Structure 1
Amino acid sequence: MKDAMAETEPVNGVSAVLARVESVLIGASGLAMAAIMLIVVVDVTLRYVFAAPLTWSYSLIGLYLAGAMFFLALPDTLNNHGHIALDVFVPLFPRRVRHLTQGLGYGGSTLFVGAMSMLGYSQARDAYLFDNRVAEAVAWPTWIAYALLTVGMTTLCLRCGFRFVFHLASVFSARDLVEMPAPPDTAVKPGEHGE
């Protein structure tokens, strides 16, 4: 049985292009996570061994790196069906009803995530134009944080929009035109539940 978190093969060119963008973003998310770990180790070492902590580490991590790690990982996680999903009953639906309900859900998600993307862009633009900065030891510009949110959420919006269109198209097609998640694995594994 295919692992639910295994990479999903794109069903068409649009999905393949989105998957390439998502791969770049998940790579950047991983780099942000590695940078957080490295900075924390250096900061703790300097703080407790040399009594000379980094004055900028928490603001850099909180303002840029944590946001990059989170927002840039969202689209790839959706592409690989890694978000929490209540999919116990979904396989029981007839194929066309499954695509219709999924399509409608992704349509609503596209609108919601699109609104968040537009708000992030508006905040990034204003912060850039007015040169907004944090009032800390290092006056980091705030537009970068909003830009990271905007890039991640816009890519997530595109993936949701793709799924909306192709789930609805699959209602009228004899085959699935969108990647489907693997069915839930309900088999008991050795070592689970005290066995």
Structure 2
Amino acid sequence: MTVAPSRSVRFVGRALTFAERAFMLIALLSLISMVLSVSADAIGRYAFRAPFSGNYEFTSFFAMVALTFMGMPGTYASGGHIRLTIFTPFLDRIPGRLSERINVIFGIVAFGLLAWATGQEAIHKFAVLETTLGAVQFPMYWSYVWVPLGAGLLCLRLLYELVHPQSRASVEVPA
């Protein structure tokens, strides 16, 4: 017998999905900006012998970090991560989805520690207003926000799945 989720549980699930989609939009905008800046740098470097100043810093410190960590929660929620399913038939026999919940607990601990540690570092970088050295001084403190935000939202999704496990059969891609 399946019990329908309560109104508050559905609200939390929708709020998480909304946040994950917003984060994914930031990740996609980061990817587009990275492609455009690398293209502008290549065109400037080889066509006009004038490279795009600060492209390396922008790509490595801002765009790649935002792409990776802002896309992580939505990728997990949609089942986009690589999964090892060789033991799934055996583990599905364990009642209460215990093996999935244990994996989720490990993820909560790992990404919770990551979010906490990088959040502390981000607060410190904002306090000192760190910038890069060089011709173009980028405000480095903004590059530190992506990791705790992405890891924190992933922790929230994992906490939600700990209490309300999702069926992974609907999101797994057959090999």
Q: TM-score range by the shorter chain?
A: 0.7 to 0.9
Distance 1:184 1:141 in 2: 41
- Residue 134 (structure 2) aligns with: 136
Distance 1:24 1:60 in 2: 21
Name the one with the larger helix percent.
2
Residue 148 in structure 1 maps to residue 146 in structure 2: yes
Once the two structures are superposed, the pairs formed by residues 21-170 of structure 1 within 5 Å of their partners are 21-94=19-92, 96-97=94-95, 99-167=97-165
Residue 185 in structure 1 maps to residue 168 in structure 2: no
Letter of the 1:124 partner, please give it. A
Identity %: 23
Over 3 Å counting, the alpha-carbon distance change for 1:181 and 1:133 in structure 2 is farther
In the alignment of these two chains, the number of paired residues is 166
Secondary structure class of the residue paired with 2:145: helix
- Residue 4 (structure 2) aligns with: none
Displacement of 1:92: 3.9
Distance 1:96 1:137 in 2: 59
Displacement of 1:84: 1.2
Letter of the 1:17 partner, please give it. A
Displacement of 1:98: 6.4
Distance 2:92 2:85 in 1: 14
Which segments of structure 1 move beyond 4 Å, counting only runs of 4 or more?
A: none
RMSD of the alignment, in Å? 1.8
Displacement of 1:95: 5.2
**What TM-score, normalized to structure 2?**
0.87
Distance 1:129 1:58 in 2: 25
Displacement of 1:45: 0.7
Displacement of 1:96: 4.9
Distance 2:167 2:143 in 1: 31
Distance 1:25 1:135 in 2: 29
**What TM-score, normalized to structure 1?**
0.79
